[in-house]
Structure 1
Amino acid sequence: MVPASFWEHEPVRRALAERHLGRVVRAYRFHPYHGRAALPQTVVAGWLGITQAQLSRVENGPPLVHLDRLTHWAQLLRIPPRFLWFSLPARLTKNAEHDPVPVKEAGPAETPARTDANLAASTQGGGTTDRRQFHALAALAGIAATGSLDLLAAPHNTVRAIGMEQVRAVGSLVDEFRRTDAAVGANRLCGLAIRVHAQLSEWAAKATSSRDVGEALQVTLADLAIETAWLTIDANRRPEARAYLNEAITRARFTDDPRMEVRAFACLALLTCRNRPGEALHAAEAALRSSAGWGTPRLVTLPHLRTARTYATLNDMSGFHRAMSRAQREFERGAREDDMPFLHFVTAQEIKGIEGLAYLALGRPERAADAFRTITENPSRALRRNHIYYSVQLADAACRQGNLDEAAWTAMNLLPELGQVSSGRVSLHLAQLRSSLGQPQRATAATRQFVEAYDQAVHA
């Protein structure tokens, strides 16, 4: 779901005034809301059920005139009816005019309890009340922009024959999980993703489909499993992640899809880096083998980053430098239009972040702090959670250097953000920092102020 102001952006307004839906799609892709990089044509083409080449012709060719395609695409993009030059069917108009509220309207303290209650209700039946509860839950989590919610609200009424439309709906739901997670963190999404994964897996096992649709569904469910695994990691529920990654690798191999295999192995390397570094190296190497010969630079960058961080965990400085150099070389080859959507976080800032984490593991807090400052001085709106995570790491690095006041002020400036971004990893690191700065021998005016502010924020 995009904010209401999205449609007031001048290029979007101009395209709508020209009554050219192809230009609307292009303006949608290049909107600043999505960050510095435009949404790739391949991604949006997948939403619309066409090829990248077809979308290119639509964007640059004559206006579409077929009403069925106009209405279907307007619904997929959630264009408010008041901006359209054609009428939507009454059912679609009603849905478009009653979009669920954005996540920021939900208070951070009440969200988990209300979410769990609604989840319990939504999985116990399929009536009208359950559907309303599920939509309310999705609104709290920020997952409401896709048509897939109708599949989830009433499991015993879902279709028994799966078509490509249902597969695309599930894929759009995964994209919304990904986008919302980057903005608000995993705590609000993790429980929802786990239940959605279980429900869709059961539905897919019982329903029938053609061979092509079945393979596409396997790939989409692999993507959902990896996203669920990542959410458990960020929510600090790491033991739950491995089963989802094992499932994703199996589904990827069923369909001979190396893209999902690379992503699953890269996530497995992240999961095991700290406690099983040998396994993490094997997982990263498996990701590199799977990407050999076809992987885009951004995709290949990721397992090299995982390798670099693991070498640092093993206190292997030379191995860390080799892997970081390879990651940097791949990254400098640039982004590609066919990059997978989940790679949106592989940025120059992320490379600096991994470098900082590696230097912390290598016992070089001064080098780590320099890397983290590069990130905090150039915050990303689209990757808010990552910015906060690395800001906490900066406070940790400063604390290890003995710069207690810098550590306290850096951490204290983050406390207001926690009302909007909830990440178990961030919460854990902040709690550890509070424990460290709260020691009597480290008491300064700044550390005492941080400890007091932190305790008030946690117990409010």
Structure 2
Amino acid sequence: MTHANCPRCGGRLARDNDSGRCTPCQAAERDRLSAPPPVPASFWEHEPVRQALAERHLGRVIRAYRCHPYHGRVALPQSVVAGWLGITQAQLSRVENGPPLVHLDRLAHWAQLLGIPASRLWFGLPGQPYRVDDRAAEGTADDPYAHDAITEQGKLPAMAVTVERASTGGGGTTDRRRFNAMAALAGIAAVGHPYLMTDPAEVPRNIGMEQVRLASSLVQDFRRADAAAGADQLCDVAVQAHARLSTWAAKANYSREVGDALQSALADLSIQAAWLATDAERRPEARPYLNEAITRARIADDPRMEVQALTQLSMLLRESQPGESLHCAEAALRVSARWATPRLSTLLHLRRAHTYAVLTDAGGFSREMTKARRELERGPHEDDLGFVDFVNEQEVNGIQGLSYLALDRPDRAAQSFRAIIANPSPGHRRNQVYYTVHLSEAEYQQGNVNEAARIALDVLPTVSQMNSGRISRHLGQVRSNLAAPRQATTATRQFVTAYDRAVSA
């Protein structure tokens, strides 16, 4: 192919054609201002693209993508590609010329948007197995832990397995917590995080991108382990990991590029630590982490991370400071206005709906629930970020049920919770258990004590295995209600006895 051929279809160009594209190809891609064009498999064989992928730098991949001859003689403008990605031209310039991105949600989102084949990536994509070629599996001089950090899809990382085994350790509460934390730290080292096992007083003199990448992958390890072992087992581990890495960020030496990337990685770890503290029913510990995450996200110019932190902060403040909870959800809607997917919008409207219910504003609750359901009906989107994975029909029914409880409508709440049980979401078992406990509460509030006891007894073994302080607290409240002398029946006594036996075991 010569300069006189269209790089897209190979056809000859007219002598007066100065666009680098034939007329049919220009017509076929008139919508490229709104979305990336489809590209052939050979597109990714172009040497600058191959080199950028080998360097594991998505910003350079994007720059090579823009300048690919497939697009014509003139490179795609940064403003056009920035529009696809939901960022500004200035932000894209920093992405292309700055340090490598380390936030996995953003990496996966942009890779999918541009249509980069999964086999050429150094990270996994949602819903796809992570495959690497032989060279990647052997690791590189720049990333000696690359092979160690890879875990097979569907297989628990070593950290999760270790924590699960550690849960059988004896001793008092403090000793058991310390034992579990140390066991989990050993597991972290096994999957590529040995730097967390060093003495807290030992701060490395210099930090490079290797440590930043490992910090980012650590968050993914926590998420997988949380699903397997529960937040109660992991909260102290996350707190220690966050403290260690924050100390490094404050005291070690690193380049400006590394520092920028470190802000985003630490924001992600702060959000994960906040979630673990919330689910472990250590809520007062959560807010400082979310405040920190918002600050770091703004420093890193990472609006998606900021929205994630604001969304979680809205949930955390709902009961104690509902007015501020509403403001957090509104801020998240405002920040994400240009790029929010339907599922993200659904989640933010659900946050507002539940908070309005806590404020006993039935009108506000109804309006936001209508908006949430309207957004959910638009379906999933290829640009969905990882943290909205749980937003589905079951979650909408669950938030609706919790809101009806807050509005003193236990009959309507029970209907919503039963809809979840009738149509469970296998991938979100903890949420289903959480809403089942609330179904027991709704039945109790209606005076159906025997049905409440039956539901609570059925879910008790699962709650005992969940290691979620948040769920355990709610079931404990059900136990207190059913243990009242005026509620004494065969069913309630059976549940109370079983509950007390499980707690003392």
TM-score, normalised by the number of residues in structure 1: 0.75
Correspondence for 2:362: 317
Classify the secondary structure of the residue corresponding to 2:334: helix
Q: CA deviation at 1:394?
A: 0.7
Question: For residues 194 and 189 of structure 2, what CA distance do their matches in structure 1 show?
Answer: 11
Correspondence for 1:153: 197
TM-score, normalised by the number of residues in structure 2: 0.69
Correspondence for 1:105: 165
CA 1:216–1:338 in structure 2 vs 1: closer, same or farther (change >3 Å)? farther
Identity of aligned residues (%): 52
Gaps of at least 5 residues in structure 1 are 1-41, 81-95, 121-133
Matching residue's letter, 1:249: I
CA 1:408–1:173 in structure 2 vs 1: closer, same or farther (change >3 Å)? same
For residue 432 of structure 2, the aligned residue among 384, 387, 397 is: 387
Does the aligned pair in 2 maintain the 1:183–1:385 contact within 8 Å?
no
Counterparts of residues 86-101 of structure 1 (less than 5 Å): 101=161
- Structure 1 range deviating more: 188-197 or 412-421: 412-421
Question: For residues 78 and 424 of structure 1, what CA distance do their matches in structure 2 show?
Answer: 28
Q: CA deviation at 1:181?
A: 2.1
CA 1:206–1:55 in structure 2 vs 1: closer, same or farther (change >3 Å)? farther
CA 1:187–1:57 in structure 2 vs 1: closer, same or farther (change >3 Å)? closer
Residues 1:179 and 2:224 are matched in the alignment = yes
Correspondence for 1:407: 452
Does the aligned pair in 2 maintain the 1:236–1:425 contact within 8 Å?
yes
CA deviation digits over 1:283-335, x for unaligned, max 9?
Answer: 11111111111122222222211100000011111110111111122222222
Matching residue's letter, 1:151: Y
Question: For residues 146 and 44 of structure 1, what CA distance do their matches in structure 2 show?
Answer: 20
Which one has the largest radius of gyration?
2
For residue 70 of structure 1, the aligned residue among 137, 140, 144 is: 137
Correspondence for 2:496: 451
Question: For residues 267 and 465 of structure 2, what CA distance do their matches in structure 1 show?
Answer: 29
Q: CA deviation at 1:79?
A: 5.5
Question: For residues 167 and 292 of structure 1, what CA distance do their matches in structure 2 show?
Answer: 29
CA 1:45–1:362 in structure 2 vs 1: closer, same or farther (change >3 Å)? closer
Question: For residues 160 and 344 of structure 1, what CA distance do their matches in structure 2 show?
Answer: 39
CA 1:78–1:240 in structure 2 vs 1: closer, same or farther (change >3 Å)? closer
Which structure is richer in relative contact order (CA contacts within 8 A, separation 6 or more)?
Answer: 1
Correspondence for 1:220: 265
Matching residue's letter, 2:334: R
Matching residue's letter, 1:105: R
For residue 211 of structure 1, the aligned residue among 239, 250, 256 is: 256
- Structure 1 range deviating more: 365-374 or 110-119: 110-119
For residue 178 of structure 2, the aligned residue among 117, 142, 156 is: 117
Question: For residues 108 and 374 of structure 1, what CA distance do their matches in structure 2 show?
Answer: 35
- Structure 1 range deviating more: 49-58 or 207-216: 49-58
CA 1:337–1:219 in structure 2 vs 1: closer, same or farther (change >3 Å)? same
Correspondence for 2:33: none
CA deviation digits over 1:42-63, x for unaligned, max 9?
Answer: 959959x98864444638xxxx
Q: CA deviation at 1:382?
A: 3.3
Q: CA deviation at 1:157?
A: 5.3
CA 1:208–1:109 in structure 2 vs 1: closer, same or farther (change >3 Å)? same
Gaps of at least 5 residues in structure 2 are 1-102, 122-130, 140-145
CA 1:53–1:407 in structure 2 vs 1: closer, same or farther (change >3 Å)? same
Residues 1:137 and 2:184 are matched in the alignment = yes
CA 1:320–1:157 in structure 2 vs 1: closer, same or farther (change >3 Å)? same
